[in-house]
Structure 1
Amino acid sequence: MRLVILAAFCATVLTSCATLDRDARLQPGVSSEAEVAAIYGQPRRVWPEADGGRTLEYSSQPMGRHAYMVRIAADGRLMGIHDGLSPANRARIVPGMTPEQVSRILGIERSRVRYRNSGEDVWDWTIEPDQSGYGMRFNVHFKDGFVVRAGQSMVFPSRLFPGLED
């Protein structure tokens, strides 16, 4: 019964929220950076761009599944919005990249873990689940300051929260 109530609540909350990349109030070439900030607040990070523009990062990590990157032109107009954690952007992570390059693409990570035996630092992001229905994480392994590999892992339900199964 509690699960049904929780599911109904979540459905209500999710349907009342517009995703930043599909918000009809924001129009590329027309909307301003001030309008983006008025609707969505301050970004978690701001990345300077070579052309004088900026990319505003709206990451929902650690529990969310998106990292919206809002590209602003040098004149302050909205150029576009994309999800840094989309499958296409995750596919851009390749061996040899630096942590900053990865962060600019994927946004702020959910967590970082250091494995002393292998000498690797592993960053992960919560991502959209696949057809299995289990939670998913995207993992990037760094060694000596460079990506050595990336991949996905499933997050299985925890037995720490009994009662949520009914």
Structure 2
Amino acid sequence: MRLAALACFALSAALLAGCATPDRDARLQPGSSREADVIAIYGPPVKVWPEVDGGRTLEYSSQPMGRHAYMVRLAADGRLVGVLDGLSPAGRARIEPGMTPEQVSRLLGRERTRVFFRNSGEDVWDWTVEPDQTGYGLRFNVHFKEGVVLRTTHSMVFPSRLFPGLDD
């Protein structure tokens, strides 16, 4: 039984390692792939954002445990325009003071958590993101005050001795 479980684990790990992501999937081609192709491969999106030009953005957020939020942009005719990872360093850099919560969500996707700090009056949303060169887990935080972005910060997530493996 133990050998079968180990073999199952090894197979699962190998399959996951080979998984394509929407931003690098050769099956999806801007200009020719359609919304139905994206959904057939990746399933239904977490959210669909309407765009002013009649197009749509399909949100594929992996929060709370994942580290990506793929935003699949479609033209008005349903053809793929492109894919961005909202939680990439470049995606996070687009967050600026004064933005509304909806503007932030449209860029970064669904957040991991929201915490309100009564003393400072700040509502802080966070996202799990790829670790930096330290190798520790990393969270990107957006601080809102009075309904707009005040600032952004990063938090390191240190390993827990009490709950190993749950520190991401």
TM-score by length of 1: 0.90
1:69 paired to 2:74: no
Structure 2 equivalent of residue 134 of structure 1: 136
Identity %: 77
Matches within 5 A, 1:37-116: 37-116=39-118
Structure 1 residue 161 displacement after superposition? 2.2
Question: Mean Cα displacement is larger for which, 9-18 or 56-65?
Answer: 9-18
Alpha-carbon separation, structure 2, partners of 1:112 and 1:160:
24
Alpha-carbon separation, structure 2, partners of 1:163 and 1:147:
32
Structure 1 residue 126 displacement after superposition? 0.3
SS at match of 1:21: coil
Alpha-carbon separation, structure 2, partners of 1:45 and 1:163:
29
* CA distances 1:33-57 after superposition (whole Å, capped 9, x unpaired): 0010011000000000010000000
Structure 2 equivalent of residue 20 of structure 1: 22
CA 1:77–1:14: 2 relative to 1, 3 Å: same
1:149 paired to 2:158: no
Structure 2 equivalent of residue 119 of structure 1: 121
Question: Which one scores higher on RCO, CA 8 angstroms, separation ≥ 6?
Answer: 1
Structure 1 residue 160 displacement after superposition? 2.0
Structure 1 equivalent of residue 3 of structure 2: none
Q: CA RMSD of the aligned region, Å?
A: 1.9
Structure 1 residue 12 displacement after superposition? 2.4
Task: Look up the equivalent residue of 1:153 and give its one-letter code.
Answer: S
Number of residues of Structure 1 aligned to a counterpart in Structure 2? 159
Alpha-carbon separation, structure 2, partners of 1:143 and 1:163:
33
Structure 1 equivalent of residue 35 of structure 2: 33
Alpha-carbon separation, structure 2, partners of 1:118 and 1:47:
32
TM-score by length of 2: 0.89
Alpha-carbon separation, structure 2, partners of 1:123 and 1:52:
29
For structure 2, the residue ranges without an aligned partner over 5 or more in a row are 1-5
For structure 1, the residue ranges without an aligned partner over 5 or more in a row are none
Alpha-carbon separation, structure 1, partners of 2:71 and 2:129:
15
Structure 1 residue 163 displacement after superposition? 9.3
